[in-house]
Structure 1
């Protein structure tokens, strides 16, 4: 086919842009409004190139998105031989000022860009090989540009099209911006092969994106690591995408375990995952991991792209075989441009020193091990921030790390526990606490490419340091000053004396690393310590917000709270727990006949499970925490029951090992005493196994209310003994009452009136008829309604202290009262009730003391206790930690079910 009229015989151009018409009437660009064929695209490109003229000029293209205008303008400049500088919208002015372009292309109408000539000729001496100018690594508005030649663009497009096996039937969605080299490589490689581009600026998190993708027959899309987080949130695994052939990933490191998981998902769904590695300085790609190796070599970047090669350059201090990765190939840039005069320069670079540390495996695959240029020397130690990011990533924590001469800044998104991050970083790097500053941001700043925006992190760190804004830094309670140099918060106590909230948290949780940026949940507080903490804070501050346990300590300062009132507030779940243990013991004596507390406490247990166990921490941390909570319920119970078994003839071995519900006997006079503990442990064990599954963990994070509602449907099978369960009279109580636990879980996740109404209606529909005792059922429904609709109940200082004491000791009151009241049968019933409560509180204090001694011994030997609840995590805090049911006075509630 003859060359278009706008080309001069000696003009160098990029073939993929020049030869568009050779693909005829095949679709080239697909949008929500229709499609444009290659023939029509070639015509628009030719018309725009004619307007640019035959004399080479510097063209700046303002990229407002992945639009037809932008694609036409880009191709017109390349086809016409004009060097083109891609400028993302919002940064055009700075680049115009820095490089003084001759022509500016902007959004026009009808798919034709607007041409704004700034001069008739050119103000620049442009090297004949220069074709494309891109900001480095996708940064926006940077005056430092990468100079790429016609051969660079064409060669890299051919290499990518080759190893991806791009076909003319393929249709790729533009999930990345054109001004980013990765996004631009998708455009180049597909146009080279006559494939189609689905032009869109929609996010993969947008339902409309997938509607368009399916409607236009999408076969591939490009992703950065962050994209996969979005894909998990939108349920990508369950989507019907029949034409999807492959997904590419570049722009950052995707953790090996995620590579394996996504590659396996693709294999099962019929598409391939292609992990790639590149830099703007190499036009886009330098290496790719063959899809069939993703499962066995997920940590590798793979092999060089066709036409390229690697070598490992030695680096001082690195072991043999590890050094800087150096790339050679036809896609290596001409060099950098810092000013307009640099545009006249030819090739200054023959090979690309990537700045990445790498090694070559015996199988010929290359693996990155760090970043040479980002090393920092902190406190005399050489620290690789990228390595720190990788370590945190293995714990499910996304982070952006920066180092200077004395501090490592670790930025993490909201919801991540700053204390945990600091511990992990200190363990990895050997740095002192004062040298690690954890910066908690609403979200990690990212460029339009999806890459982390490190300059923005640095600015945020500087701003927080100047304005005293909340980050998770600080030396903890030992240093008494945070990393910003501010004194730790002191607030007025009830007696007028200042109270240090950090010290209060440290005392209750038995921690020595508390800062005013930490929260109760972030410090792994459990439900027993929650009782004490809430009451003591309420005494100190006069009022607590409903979400105090998730707020940073500094946000609880009295200046941010309502004025002190005469009446104190007592959290409803604490009040229910204290009242229930009294009702349970009292009904067993009996002092009164008010039953139902145990079943209500199962709902409270589920409520607390959702609040404290299902935190924003990664799945592994959650699961470890849950197993610890199970131990805090099961171990003290087994110890107490074993002692009672040894000293009395009331129990059997099946009681000691909490297997009476499974092994029997089911007709004894006292075996039923501990049904609640067994049911609670069984439920938590089942949930520990269930939530350890990655897909369940993802489902819970995406549908925090929907998942417990779905499990509620499963629980109702046991509640109504459907599908033949009624034929098993000795069915474990955990199966029968599971529905109450997940109902409480759903109540904690109910975020609006409609959802609260729903769980209340479900309680009203399912509780009546369970016992056939209206009074008991009314108590459960009323207590549940309070839990759902009334966060706090009125109290007084002394009443709150008593409630906290009873709620915090409820497990031990329940365990011990079976041995206390039979031996005081001659005393008045109310005296026996008080005695049972006092003995239970005393046992709890002894257990707490033993726990403290164990913790002290561990610390003395250098093995710090991992207990999540601190002071009350030991024997006194055996009830499931966090939101589980540790606080659900569940133990007491145990005796509530009728005897078999």
Structure 2
């Protein structure tokens, strides 16, 4: 199977250019040839939402060249650290002076030495495990795993050549990459527009190019609700998909009703970068009676629950760590250049680190994270559960982020400044105290203008941890 299916099109809004089937194939082949001239090793590409970044990725994939997709906003020192550890053949679309051992060629850094580690032949894409800070490992995704996932997603979302999907999400983010893959593999059209779902230019492109689907993480849907999103204004739009974390149930129901009212559909999905990246899709026709579920495993995949005693089960309602098995599970992690040549170390099984259970029909429900745990006066609490409790407490907080802070939890609530915000935060602290039967001083709710986000649209918890 090839990633760029027959009939695929790319529409570049910024450049006013459309690449149809033959021209797209020619441009991808040109990129493949350019990458083949680089020294041995993985290629780093700083992935903006633009035509050149898309073509670079496609040229690497179709040419069998391992490529690491890098956030263009990645801290400069973190990027340099990655370059030192992985010695890439080149850093494409680089910024600033080239580090030692590299020469600047146009906008790229190219390694001076021809010697390097040859990546494993199955390795196609590497994605960092963290956001713009820290010391990330690289997730190693295989060509077959990415293709299997793209095909499975296309099956359950019923993607065909008539679909038109925009670049709602960054391309270095696994969910954004998955949208691109699952449409191109079916010969559909992808509209490259960089402003995202909160930009006016994006919605102009939705109308002009007949966009049929939108994809977003929970934060996007929170914002769309505030903006009173009405799908009736966009006659071609017939599908919404949501992943990247759990969207509160009332918003799932609300957006589902909006789409049903115009003859459309909404799909809720669950995934991780380590699964190339999606593992479930909740069928649109079952969404109303399965609110809160992430859905069943994608075709070719399966779930089991690992109980506290280490045993696996598929019996319903038993909570434990979610285990996933499927052809899309990563090959493993790479810590440095030497790890690029390693083969498959996971054998198709992924321990997700998420807590959850299966129902009688095999539909998955996620209840929290093993590591998203804080302590309040010595009592272990789920930070995800605290966020959900604040949102459902009816105190006026929709966007909130919880981080552990010693023997208490700090919750940052997105609120306008003023005495009203302080009062709302006190109400939230009291609501949590009553719910968990702990003193309110253990829940430090603070107003914040805007909860910081990673480029993926997920909350930047690391940044918030630096503020407590």
Q: TM-score range by the shorter chain?
A: 0.7 to 0.9
Task: Tell me the alpha carbon deviations over residues 401-456 of structure 1, each in whole angstroms, 9 at most, x when there is no partner.
Answer: 12244111111112342101111221233332332222322211111111011001
Trace 1:343-362 onto structure 2 (pairs within 5 A): 343-350=340-347, 351-362=349-360
Trace 1:468-479 onto structure 2 (pairs within 5 A): none
Task: Tell me the alpha carbon deviations over residues 56-76 of structure 1, each in whole angstroms, 9 at most, x when there is no partner.
Answer: 53100011x211100011111
Trace 1:818-857 onto structure 2 (pairs within 5 A): none
Which of residues 129, 133, 139 in structure 2 aligns to 1:146? 139
Q: In the alignment, what sits opposite 1:414?
A: 415
- The 3 A distance-change label for structure 1 pair 378 and 39 is same
1:235 aligns with 2:228: yes
Cα displacement (A) at 1:142:
4.3
Which of residues 24, 37, 43 in structure 2 aligns to 1:59? 43
1:341 aligns with 2:338: yes
Cα displacement (A) at 1:116:
4.5
Alignment check: 8 A CA contact 1:357 1:368 kept: yes
Task: Tell me the alpha carbon deviations over residues 682-740 of structure 1, each in whole angstroms, 9 at most, x when there is no partner.
Answer: xxxxxxxxxxxxxxxxxxxxxxxxxxxxxxxxxxxxxxxxxxxxxxxxxxxxxxxxxxx
Trace 1:10-21 onto structure 2 (pairs within 5 A): 15-17=1-3, 20=4
Q: In the alignment, what sits opposite 1:322?
A: 319
Alignment check: 8 A CA contact 1:98 1:143 kept: no
Task: Tell me the alpha carbon deviations over residues 594-623 of structure 1, each in whole angstroms, 9 at most, x when there is no partner.
Answer: xxxxxxxxxxxxxxxxxxxxxxxxxxxxxx
* Structure 1 residue runs without a partner (length 5+): 1-14, 462-900
Could you tell me how far apart the structure 2 residues matched to 1:356 and 1:180 are?
A: 19
1:170 aligns with 2:170: no
Cα displacement (A) at 1:122:
4.4
Could you tell me how far apart the structure 2 residues matched to 1:140 and 1:70 are?
A: 22
Q: In the alignment, what sits opposite 1:748?
A: none
Q: In the alignment, what sits opposite 1:399?
A: 400
Root-mean-square deviation (Å)? 2.4
Q: Report the more deviating stretch, 155-164 or 46-55.
A: 46-55
Rg larger in structure: 1
Segments ≥4 residues shifted beyond 3 Å: 113-116, 119-122, 137-142, 316-320
Alignment check: 8 A CA contact 1:62 1:107 kept: yes
Trace 1:123-162 onto structure 2 (pairs within 5 A): 123-136=116-129, 142-162=135-155
Could you tell me how far apart the structure 2 residues matched to 1:89 and 1:135 are?
A: 12
Could you tell me how far apart the structure 1 residues matched to 2:207 and 2:447 are?
A: 38
- The 3 A distance-change label for structure 1 pair 199 and 250 is same
Could you tell me how far apart the structure 1 residues matched to 2:175 and 2:144 are?
A: 17
Alignment check: 8 A CA contact 1:87 1:140 kept: no
Q: In the alignment, what sits opposite 2:292?
A: 299
Trace 1:55-454 onto structure 2 (pairs within 5 A): 56-63=40-47, 65-91=48-74, 92-106=79-93, 116-119=109-112, 121-136=114-129, 142-237=135-230, 239-315=232-308, 321-350=318-347, 351-395=349-393, 396-415=397-416, 416=421, 417-454=424-461
Cα displacement (A) at 1:237:
1.3
> What TM-score, normalized by structure 1, do the two folds share?
0.47
Could you tell me how far apart the structure 1 residues matched to 2:200 and 2:284 are?
A: 28
Please state whether the residue corresponding to 2:438 is helix, strand or coil. coil
- The 3 A distance-change label for structure 1 pair 38 and 93 is farther
- The 3 A distance-change label for structure 1 pair 298 and 139 is farther
Could you tell me how far apart the structure 2 residues matched to 1:200 and 1:166 are?
A: 20
Trace 1:771-850 onto structure 2 (pairs within 5 A): none
Could you tell me how far apart the structure 2 residues matched to 1:52 and 1:261 are?
A: 46
Alignment check: 8 A CA contact 1:56 1:83 kept: no
Could you tell me how far apart the structure 2 residues matched to 1:252 and 1:277 are?
A: 7
* Structure 2 residue runs without a partner (length 5+): 96-105
Could you tell me how far apart the structure 1 residues matched to 2:231 and 2:165 are?
A: 20
Alignment check: 8 A CA contact 1:412 1:441 kept: yes
Could you tell me how far apart the structure 1 residues matched to 2:466 and 2:134 are?
A: 17
Tell which has more relative contact order, 1 or 2 (C-alpha 8 A, sep 6+): 2
Cα displacement (A) at 1:320:
7.0
Could you tell me how far apart the structure 2 residues matched to 1:136 and 1:309 are?
A: 24
> What TM-score, normalized by structure 2, do the two folds share?
0.88
Could you tell me how far apart the structure 1 residues matched to 2:215 and 2:399 are?
A: 20
- Residues matched between the structures, number: 438
Cα displacement (A) at 1:49:
1.4
Could you tell me how far apart the structure 1 residues matched to 2:117 and 2:270 are?
A: 34
Please state whether the residue corresponding to 2:119 is helix, strand or coil. coil
Task: Tell me the alpha carbon deviations over residues 505-561 of structure 1, each in whole angstroms, 9 at most, x when there is no partner.
Answer: xxxxxxxxxxxxxxxxxxxxxxxxxxxxxxxxxxxxxxxxxxxxxxxxxxxxxxxxx
- The 3 A distance-change label for structure 1 pair 155 and 141 is farther
